[in-house]
Amino acid sequence: MGANALSLLDGASAVEEFKDRFEGFGVPIVAVRAGGSLIEGKSAMRNLDVLRRSVDYAEGVGSLLVVGNLMAPQRYLPAGWEATGRTHSQDSSKDASIYLYERVADSIRPICDEAADRGITVAIEMHHASPVDNSWSARLLHDLVDRPNFGINPDIGNVAWEYNEPEETPEENVKALAEVCVYWHCKNVVRVNHPENERAVAWKVSLEDGEMDYRFLMAAMVDAGYNGYVAIEGGREGDQFEMDTRSLNYMRKLEAEVRSEVD
């Protein structure tokens, strides 16, 4: 559930009623989403305030997770253009200094301390067009924040489509990050690379159909002891209900098979 939606509710009683409505449909609010750059001068302070307030929202709806990312709106591409599959990515780890990560960690650490008193975990998503966009940058931020209730949301699909040539394979990424993951965004893509244009185009497909081997990813996460939520980022084109149902059934089947092999 997005913090922007919860911010429209009038007071704690309205948040409680909102939570009860969702739970009445059998859909508890398991995570509160707070996004936005903490390095862009125009929006950083506002986004930091949203992240802080998201801890309050999480407590109000009974969630133990606040999940954000560090992506800013695109500043150079025309509106509507996809910010992936190119040779350059806005605010990427390629262009970041150690001082940037230290500044972001200093911003997040007090929020983690406040969240810890309420039993809430804070996660930052590995996201394209942000300084946390691959395994090394995610591990760096995790180590700098250095709080037991801080972890990473490893959306490996964002690494797969960030550049025209991915920086690392999904297998390399999950092996580096699995042990520090506290939430898991999952999507799969098919990529078509145009090397003569230094451009790749990717589109979402069901988790069983894309280029990423989710059997390997699931096995790596289970081996690392992951037992948290999986959020399936669904299809955009075609019959989205069919695609997402296939992805859900596939992941349930994979988890059962992988855990039976471990047991």
Give tens-digit pLDDT for 133-166. Answer: 999 999 999 999 999 999 999 999 999 999 999 9
Q: Strand pairing partners for 205?
A: 188
Between 240 and 65, the higher pLDDT residue: 65
- pLDDT, residue 245, reads 95
Other C-beta atoms closer than 10 Å to the C-beta of 64 total 18
- 66 within 8 A of 122, measured Cβ to Cβ: yes
pLDDT in tens, 165-213: 999 999 999 999 999 999 999 999 999 999 999 999 999 999 999 999 9
Measure the CA–CA gap between 190 and 142, rounded to whole angstroms.
30
In total, the chain counts a number of residues equal to: 263
Q: Where residue 263 falls among pLDDT bands split at 50, 70, 90? A: low
Q: What is the pTM of this model?
A: 0.94
* Average pLDDT of the residues of the chain: 95
Is pLDDT above 90 for 120?
yes
Q: Which of 19, 14, 16 is nearest to 29 (CA)?
A: 19
- pLDDT, residue 81, reads 85
Architecture of 3-185 per CATH? Alpha-Beta Barrel (3.20)
Measure the CA–CA gap between 228 and 245, rounded to whole angstroms.
20
* Mean pLDDT value across residues 40-61: 96
pLDDT in tens, 68-87: 999 999 999 888 788 899 99
Tell whether the torsion through CA atoms of 68, 69, 73 and 75 is positive or negative.
Answer: positive
- pLDDT, residue 145, reads 98
Residue labelled with tokens 């992941």: 251
Between 77 and 64, the higher pLDDT residue: 64
- pLDDT, residue 11, reads 85
- pLDDT, residue 10, reads 87
Which token pair is 208? 């069983």
* Mean pLDDT value across residues 227-253: 92
- 3-state SS string over 116-149? HCCCCEEEEECCCCCCCCCHHHHHHHHHHHCCCC
Could you tell me the residue ranges of all domains in the chain? 3-185
Residue labelled with tokens 């955009």: 236
